[in-house]
Amino acid sequence: MEANAWIDQAEHAILHTYNRYQIILERGEGLYLYDTEGKKYLDFAAGIGVQALGYGNSEYNAALKKQIDRLLHTSNLYYNQPIIEAAEKLCEVSGMERVFFTNSGTEAIEGAIKAAKKYAYEKDGTTDHEIIAMEHSFHGRSLGALAVTGNAHYREPFEPLPGIVKFAEYNNPDSVAALINEKTCAVIMETVQGEGGIYPAAKEFLAGVKEICEARDILLILDEIQCGMGRSGQMFAWQNYGVKPDIMTCAKALGCGVPVGAFLVTEKVACASLKPGDHGTTYGGNPFAGAAVSKVLDIFKEQNITGHVQKISGYLEEQLEQVKKDYGFVKARRGLGLLQGLELEPRVPAGEVSKKALEQGLILITAGNNVLRFVPPLVIERKHVDEMKEILRGIFDSYAD
Ligand SMILES: *Cc1c(COP(=O)(O)O)cnc(C)c1O
């Protein structure tokens, strides 16, 4: 069947919640994806920051196949070895003390919010606690995560959303301080805002918010779903800042393709928040997901992925800076590690650049307000950066005055 016929069928069978690019991806190998017509694409999106190890990693694939033949699922009424190993390894690399596994990022956020609310409830016996979230944040599409997402366009049709949420200005500690009252139970933010347009937290901001939180025993929730798992050059982006959260969320690259997320808490939160009966999931943390997470963390360690990111991200940054210098319509370059963005003037629509890139065999996505987002697999090499840059320059030349 022709690609167009497949796409027609898709639009009849699948609820139309995405305006998709008009290609059907079929297989992947290393840094490249191939569509059903055999066309090859260099991937600078990694399935939205998921495929940290690229495609077809044989060690990872072998571990999954082995687990499929052994045991896929049992429920959380019993223990299973793969998830115990995964939890231990995740606590080790994060320095957090307990983990709850979910199936997605948005569920990790739900759990983080519940843990924070329960912590406050245990402390003062009251409800109606408030959460401070950030403008231009993104935390997911389920109702609780949507309630803390700082994008009115995403939220409005679904209001009223659960809980009392106030929005502060990102990178402005005073605007956080101004919203604090005796009902505040948590501050939630991405360490680097992803969907909002690639804005890393300023050092003073994160330190300032941490100080405000500590002074009043308010929990700091850091969403590391996109910026975590090595992308920043440290295992988790907050490790670049030396500011440890009370609760942290993780997903996307955690399973490198197997749907899995997690929220992690410190000992303090573990001891005084969610208890048996307060939270649960049927699939979350099943043996298959456990085998995936466990193997991903092994490979990260063996191959020193964070060390590689530190080196290669410097090169990507340099090249993007050069592009910014050469094309006047590039307003800014921002980012941390392999989470980078180029903000363009309105006359050069990022969505249009992304479509042209696809035609030329480069997968590039957008973020926020006219920002090109660079979130390649973490195993990228210089030659891939160069290949991307050549295609991007060709496209940018067509917009030059
Ligand atoms: C993608 C993302 C989420 C939501 O994760 P899903 O797995 O799509 O539910 C939440 N927070 C951040 C920062 C994200 O990038």
| Model pLDDT for residues 57-107, shown as the tens digit of each residue | 999 999 999 999 999 999 999 999 999 999 999 999 999 999 999 999 999
Residue-wise pLDDT for 348-364, tens only, equals: 999 999 999 999 999 99
State the distance from the centre of ligand 1 to the C-alpha of 400, rounded, in angstroms. 35
Q: Which residues line ligand 1 (CB under 6 A)?
A: 104-106, 109, 138-140, 190, 194-195, 223, 225-226, 251-252
For residues 44 and 35, the answer to whether their CB atoms sit within 8 Å is no
Minimum CA distance residue for ligand 1 atom 5:
105
For the chain, list the domains and their CATH numbers. Answer: 3-57+304-397 (3.90.1150.10), 71-302 (3.40.640.10)
Residue-wise pLDDT for 311-334, tens only, equals: 999 999 999 999 999 999 999 999
pLDDT mean over 150-174: 97
For residues 169 and 175, the answer to whether their CB atoms sit within 8 Å is yes
Instruction: Please report the pLDDT score of residue 318 as a whole number.
Output: 98
Q: Residue 36 corresponds to which tokens in the numbers above? A: 């059903």
pLDDT value at 128 more than 80? yes
State the distance from the centre of ligand 1 to the C-alpha of 226, rounded, in angstroms. 7
- The structure tokens 């490790």 sit at 239
pLDDT value at 294 more than 80? yes
Which of 139, 199, 365 to probe ligand 1 with, by most ligand atoms within 8 A of CB? 139
- Phi, psi (degrees; rounded to nearest 5) at 207: -65, -40
Instruction: Please report the pLDDT score of residue 39 as a whole number.
Output: 98
Q: Are strands 32-35 and 25-29 parallel, antiparallel or unpaired?
A: antiparallel
For residues 188 and 225, the answer to whether their CB atoms sit within 8 Å is no
For residues 137 and 149, the answer to whether their CB atoms sit within 8 Å is yes
Query: Model confidence at 1, in pLDDT bands (50, 70, 90)?
Result: confident
Measure the CA dihedral 14/20/26/29, to 10°. -140
Taking the whole predicted model, whether its pTM rises above 0.85 is answered as: yes
Minimum CA distance residue for ligand 1 atom 8:
105
Neighbouring C-alpha atoms within 13 Å toward the C-beta of 68: 7
pLDDT value at 37 more than 90? yes
pLDDT above 90 covers a percentage of the chain that reads: 99
State the distance from the centre of ligand 1 to the C-alpha of 1, rounded, in angstroms. 34
For residues 380 and 401, the answer to whether their CB atoms sit within 8 Å is no
Nearest atom within ligand 1 for CA of residue 48: 1
3-state helix, strand, coil in the chain (%, to 5): 40, 20, 40
pLDDT mean over 339-347: 98
Cα(108)–Cα(262) distance, integer angstroms: 5
Residue 209: closest CA among 175, 235, 232:
175
For residues 197 and 369, the answer to whether their CB atoms sit within 8 Å is yes
Nearest atom within ligand 1 for CA of residue 145: 10
Counting other chains too, the contacts that 242-247 makes at CB distance below 8 Å and 24 or more residues apart are 243/206, 243/207, 243/210, 244/95, 245/220, 245/221, 246/116, 246/213, 246/219, 246/220, 246/221, 247/112, 247/115, 247/116, 247/186, 247/219, 247/220, 247/221, 247/222
Cα(228)–Cα(251) distance, integer angstroms: 8
pLDDT mean over 141-168: 97
Instruction: Please report the pLDDT score of residue 234 as a whole number.
Output: 98
For residues 371 and 350, the answer to whether their CB atoms sit within 8 Å is yes
Instruction: Please report the pLDDT score of residue 61 as a whole number.
Output: 98
Query: Model confidence at 401, in pLDDT bands (50, 70, 90)?
Result: confident
Q: Residue 268 corresponds to which tokens in the numbers above? A: 């303090």
Q: How many CB atoms lie within 10 A of CB 335?
A: 25
pLDDT above 70 covers a percentage of the chain that reads: 100
Query: Model confidence at 13, in pLDDT bands (50, 70, 90)?
Result: very high
Average pLDDT, the chain: 98
pLDDT value at 175 more than 80? yes
State the distance from the centre of ligand 1 to the C-alpha of 297, rounded, in angstroms. 20
Nearest atom within ligand 1 for CA of residue 193: 13
